[in-house]
Amino acid sequence: MNIAILGTRGIPNNYGGFEQLAEYLSVGLIQKGHRVTVYCSSNHIYQKSHWNGVLLKHVFDPEKHLGTVGQFIYDFFSVWHCRKAGYDVVLNLGYTSSAVWLPLLYNQTRIVTNMDGLEWKRTKYKKPVQWFLKRAEAWAVQRSHTLIADSIGIQHYLKQTYNVPSTYIAYGANVYNDPPIKALEPFNLKAFSYNILIARMEPENNIELILDGVVNSNSEMPCLVIGNIVNRFGKYLSKKYAHDARIQFLGPIYDLEVINPLRFYSNLYFHGHSVGGTNPSLLEAMGCNALICAHNNTFNAAVLQQQAYYFNTATDVSVCIERTKKQDAKNQAMLQQNINRITTLFSWKNIIDAYEHILITK
């Protein structure tokens, strides 16, 4: 099969979840004998034409000059190139700006769309943008031949809202064992003596609520915040919590050899995501043996079930920080259950197999 993957900033991943999915999936499909092209932004740091056997097509992307409008232009040129390239199937990751252009492909090739999360609910967007994203969601449903939901919650939502079927395929993760303890030395940390939060700096990720809980707690344990703080909300957060030495903003870290030991040796891993389906960083934390304290919502609960702590308020966060030690026996049992779920339900092999089945089935 000749397969194209659209909707990401490109691979190798240096941005987020869809990029990581494209990275693992494209290489996995190549190993299964398929031809795969991943469309990449012209701004991507990696500019070679191939990566691990995957063909990379770099497309003009003016987002850094035009902002959101640039995303539409990037997606248009990606779709237009696909129209002429004659792929057997196009995997479209997300719909926020690409849904506008999907009719250009509809009669040319089969379109499979991963519907991502409920983008129109993100509070960072103003009302007109939220309205457009809700329309784009409907367009993606109408203009795709096959839909993928990355969580059971999204699958139910698509059925209830649009009365359409979708196939549930989550993200994947690997189990990470025996990290070097010396990886903590550059951060002047000791094992299990700090908490950690990894997220994009967006309000719906409940970062402010979590950090309010840190501030109000009686614990002296530091809390590492990993994520890019250059946007407006990130700058607001870094200024608000500058007075509290426990809160350490480390910026974005994409190197797994750095970030995985930080997850593994943390006391608590806070996961505040509240909009969307199965979050890749949550699965990675589970695979890294992190003890998770997650925002209490259906998406997180579907993944973690009873093998995590949950919070609704800053007070919940404070209580969890003050009372929870990762090395307690009851927590070790929870951690093992999460590892078991990664190896059985969320392994990359299973995810790649499921995608291949969808992509080659007409």
Per-residue pLDDT tens for 176-191?
Answer: 988 899 999 999 999 9
How high is the pLDDT of residue 17?
80
Query: How confident is the model over 315-340, as a mean pLDDT?
Result: 95
Topology adopted by domain 2-172+347-360: Rossmann fold (3.40.50)
Asked whether the beta carbons of 99 and 12 are under 8 A apart, the reply is no
318 within 8 A of 336, measured Cβ to Cβ = no
Whether the pLDDT of residue 351 is over 90: the answer is: yes
The span from the CA of 249 to the CA of 226, in Å, is 6
| Residues in contact with 278: Cβ distance below 8 Å, sequence separation at least 6, in sequence order | 150, 151, 170, 171, 299, 302, 303
Q: Where is average pLDDT lowest: 113-127, 246-260, 261-275?
A: 113-127
pLDDT in tens, 134-148: 888 899 999 999 999
Residues 6+ apart with CB under 8 A from 188: none
How far are the Cα atoms of 77, 113, 240, 301, 318 from residue 110, in angstroms, in the given order?
18, 10, 49, 33, 50
Backbone angles phi, psi at 10, to 5 degrees: 120, 170
- Whether this prediction's pTM lies above 0.75 is answered by yes
For 93, the enclosing helix (H) or strand (E) is strand 89-93
Give the model's pLDDT for residue 353.
96
Judging by DSSP bridges, how do beta strands 35-41 and 223-226 pair with one another?
A: unpaired
350's enclosing H/E stretch is helix 348-360
Q: Report CA-CA distances (Å) from 248 to 194, 242, 270.
A: 11, 9, 14
Share of the chain above pLDDT 70, in %: 97
pLDDT attached to residue 134? 86
Q: What is the pLDDT of residues 214-243, one digit of tens each?
A: 999 999 999 999 999 999 999 999 999 999
> What's the rounded Cα separation, in Å, for the pair 361 and 305?
32
Task: Return d(Cα 214, Cα 208) in angstroms, integer.
Answer: 10
Average pLDDT over residues 331-340: 95
Query: Do 182 and 209 touch, CB atoms closer than 8 A?
Result: no
Intrachain domains 2-172+347-360 and 181-344 with the same fold: yes
> First CA to last CA across the chain, in angstroms?
12
pLDDT range class, residue 123, cuts 50, 70, 90: low
Handedness of CA 21, 88, 62, 137 (dihedral sign): negative
Please say if the pLDDT value at position 350 is more than 90: yes
pLDDT at 61 over 90: yes
Cβ–Cβ contacts within 10 Å for residue 280, how many?
21
Looking at domain 181-344, its CATH superfamily turns out to be: Glycogen Phosphorylase B; (3.40.50.2000)
Nearest-angstrom CA–CA distance, 168 and 192: 35
Per-residue confidence at 120, pLDDT binned at 50, 70, 90? Answer: low
* Sequence spans of domains, the chain: 2-172+347-360, 181-344
**Residue 161 reports pLDDT greater than 70:** yes
Residue (of 173, 237, 247) closest to 200 by Cα position? 237
Contacting residues for 186 by C-beta, under 8 A, at least 6 apart: none
DSSP secondary structure code for residue 47 in this structure: -
Express as a percent the part of the chain with pLDDT over 90.
73
Q: Residue 69 has what DSSP assignment?
A: H
Distances (CA, A) of 93 to 21, 97, 100, 173, 303: 9, 11, 14, 18, 21
- 267-320 pLDDT, tens per residue? 999 999 987 677 888 999 999 999 999 999 988 998 999 999 999 999 999 999
| pLDDT confidence of residue 247 | 98
Give the C-alpha separation, 149 to 165, whole Å: 10
pLDDT at 108: 85
Mean pLDDT of 53-78: 91
CA gyration radius, the chain: 20
